[in-house]
Amino acid sequence: MSKLLNVSSSPHVRDQVTTQNIMLDVAIAMIPASAYGVYQFGVKAALILLISVLSCILSEYVFETLMGKPITVSDGSALVTGMILGLNMPPAIPLWIPFLGGVFAIIVVKQLYGGLGQNFMNPALAARCFLLISFAGKMTDFTYSDAVAGPTPLAALKVGDVVDITSMFIGKISGTIGEVSVIALLVGAAYLLFRKVISIRIPAVYLITFAVFVFIFGQHDLMYVLTHLCGGGLIFGAFFMATDYVTSPITPKGQILFGVLLGVLTGLFRLFGASAEGVSYAIIISNILVPLIEKISLPVAFGKEGK
């Protein structure tokens, strides 16, 4: 009897990597963008990030305590949600708005659907869209006394004004706290790729599809396309939000379809929509369609009856 094999329940493939390790890496990758955002916009930006993170962590702890569920704050997912939400805030936003966003992200989008791994859309982006709908004026007010004044590059581009791409790449522009510096975002993205936390597949397909769409339906000008790529939350969304494990496809073909859908939707929103931006809504809509994408992209099983 001692030679019998024990068959346990799944998962059968185990790894030393934990959710906590992954979330820590994602948080580390967002430090360059966070640091530059604080440098660009001052102490208020640091307070917004702090309030957003604390709101998410406290919401998760309080909800799980009241519901008698295991406390999962230590896995780092609430920390990452808070950082993403905070980096998506304008630097002049009243502090109670990111706090409210954190409560919505954790309780409404994450916990009410069963917690980490059960949410059907990215909690931070869902909260941002909720805040955009509820407080449109404050969420689109990017003026700040200590930073570069004026409209965001995408808003200027939409009305035909000239945009300085060098300032966009460095970060001397108006925008949300985490989207202004392309350099800082690419440093964080390189860290995630180096640590193999994310694959290049979704970001690459997303950015290429978007660039082709803008070139075809926008202006046939490479500088115009490059400006769109560097503007808004596209780089931030492509590497830090579209690659979310829970809300993105797991099949290789599905990830390609997902990236194509993201690129087309973002292009549609930016070129033909009322707003100059469109990344958040594109990712949210694509998140909802992930079950369908995975259904049509499942690999064919081996064997006679595979097809």
Mean pLDDT of 173-195: 93
**CA 269 – CA 260 distance, rounded (Å):** 14
Q: Which of 85-94, 271-280, 285-294 has the lowest mean pLDDT?
A: 271-280
The confidence score (pLDDT) of residue 147 equals 47
Residue 194's contacts (CB-CB under 8 Å, 6 or more residues apart) are none
Would you say 111 and 63 are in contact if contact means Cβ atoms under 8 Å apart? Answer: yes
Contact 55/89 with Cβ under 8 angstroms? no
Distances in Å between the alpha carbon of 192 and those of 203, 243, 260, 285, 291? 12, 10, 21, 24, 25
Burial of 275 (0-12, 13-18, 19+ CB in 10 A): middle
Q: Which of 43-57, 64-78, 167-181, 241-255 has the lowest mean pLDDT?
A: 167-181
> Any idea which residue has 């805040």 for tokens?
131
Highest mean pLDDT: which of 28-42, 137-151, 158-172?
28-42
Name the band, by pLDDT with cuts 50, 70 and 90, for residue 145: low
Q: Assess whether pLDDT exceeds 80 at residue 15.
A: no
pLDDT (0 to 100) of residue 159: 76
Q: Quick one: pLDDT band at residue 8, thresholds 50, 70, 90?
A: low
pLDDT at 150: 64
Return the number of other C-beta atoms located less than 10 Å from residue 304's C-beta. 5
pLDDT band of residue 148 (cuts 50, 70, 90) is low
Question: Above 90 in pLDDT, residue 239?
Answer: yes
Q: How confident is the model at residue 7 (pLDDT cuts 50, 70, 90)?
A: low
User: Would you state the pLDDT for residue 158?
Assistant: 78
Q: 12 pLDDT exceeds 70? A: no
Between residues 39 and 305, which one has the greater pLDDT? 39
Please determine, for residue 10, whether its predicted confidence score (pLDDT) is greater than 80: no
Res. 9: pLDDT tops 60 = no
Task: Give the DSSP letter string of the chain.
Answer: -TTPPP-PPSP-S--S--HHHHHHHHHHHTHHHHHHHHHHH-HHHHHHHHHHHHHHHHHHHHHHHHTTPPP-GGGSHHHHHHHHHHHTS-TT--THHHHHHHHIIIIIIIGGGTSTTT-SS-HHHHHHHHHHHHSHHHHT----TTS--S--HHHHHHTT----HHHHHHT-S-S-TTTS-HHHHHHHHHHHHHTTSS-SHHHHHHHHHHHHHHHHHS-S-HHHHHHHHHSTTHHHIIIIITT-TTTS--SHHHHHHHHHHHHHHHHHHHHHSSSS--HHHHHHHHHHTHHHHHHHHPPPPSSTT--
Residue 217 has pLDDT above 50, yes or no: yes
pLDDT tens-digit series, residues 57-115? 999 999 999 999 999 899 999 999 999 999 999 999 999 999 999 999 999 999 988 88
Work out the average pLDDT over 232-248. Answer: 92
What pLDDT is recorded for position 6?
Answer: 56
62: its two tokens: 């309080």
Mean pLDDT of 279-292: 93
pTM for the full predicted model? 0.88
CA distances from 96 to 17, 49, 59, 93 (A): 36, 12, 14, 8
Q: How far is CA 87 from CA 104, 177, 290, in A?
A: 16, 5, 25
Closest CA to 202 of 156, 249, 160: 249
CA distance 230 to 213: 15
- The whole-number pLDDT of residue 106 equals 95
Residue 259 has pLDDT above 60, yes or no: yes
Average pLDDT over residues 161-175: 84
Would you say residue 146 has pLDDT above 60?
Answer: no
* Averaged pLDDT score across all residues of the chain: 88
